[in-house]
Structure 1
Amino acid sequence: MATGEESVNIYQAKTEFSRLIARVEGGERIIISRSGRPVARLVPFSPERSTRHPGAWKGRVAIAPDFDAFATDDAAAWFDE
């Protein structure tokens, strides 16, 4: 159980569901337990990220042919003051 999470038993969760939801809307996270064993977690809803579309930037980005070329002189320049 993460720090700051309160644990409630199933009976309490059923009788106080609206209050627990209001607390979760306020940012709290609540663990629901059965016989002292955690079985569920109430957490604030966060929408899923949008679907990725591979290739969406095709033709918009140009990478130089030598973008990964590396010379020891380059590394030495990083440490010169």
Structure 2
Amino acid sequence: MKMINVHEAKTHLSRLIDEIVMFGEPLIIAKSGKPLVKVIPFDNHQKTTKRIGFAPELSIPEDFNDMNEEEISALFEGKEK
């Protein structure tokens, strides 16, 4: 669990809140090294998902960058496969 001091929490509050909501990781705020409060995400907060284009169910294969590598290289080199 991450622990930060009060001054850093005041300076970066918006960013810290975004991280807590996004990752669900609680945060301890301390003063002079002594833990004071624990900030946790609100349970009812709905996480938003980012859509890719128009197809939210789209999945990209793990080998996407290597798919048809030989065929594509042959086309660029002017060779027949």
What TM-score, normalized by structure 1, do the two folds share? Answer: 0.51
**Structure 2 residue 16 is matched with structure 1 residue 24:** no
The structure with the largest helix share of the pair is: 2
Work out the number of aligned pairs and report it. Answer: 43
> Larger radius of gyration, structure 1 or 2?
1
What TM-score, normalized by structure 2, do the two folds share? Answer: 0.51
**Inter-partner Cα distance in structure 1 for 2:7 and 2:34:** 14
How far residue 18 of structure 1 moved from its aligned partner, in angstroms, is 0.3
**Runs of at least 4 residues of structure 1 off by over 3 A?**
none
**Inter-partner Cα distance in structure 2 for 1:19 and 1:42:** 13
How far residue 46 of structure 1 moved from its aligned partner, in angstroms, is 1.7
2:31 to 18, 30, 34: 34
Letter of the 1:24 counterpart: I
How far residue 28 of structure 1 moved from its aligned partner, in angstroms, is 1.4
* Partner SS state of residue 42, structure 2: coil
Q: Which residue of 1 aligns with 2:40?
A: 43
**Inter-partner Cα distance in structure 1 for 2:16 and 2:25:** 9
Letter of the 1:42 counterpart: V
Identity, in percent, stands at 40
RMSD of Structure 2 on Structure 1 (CA): 0.9
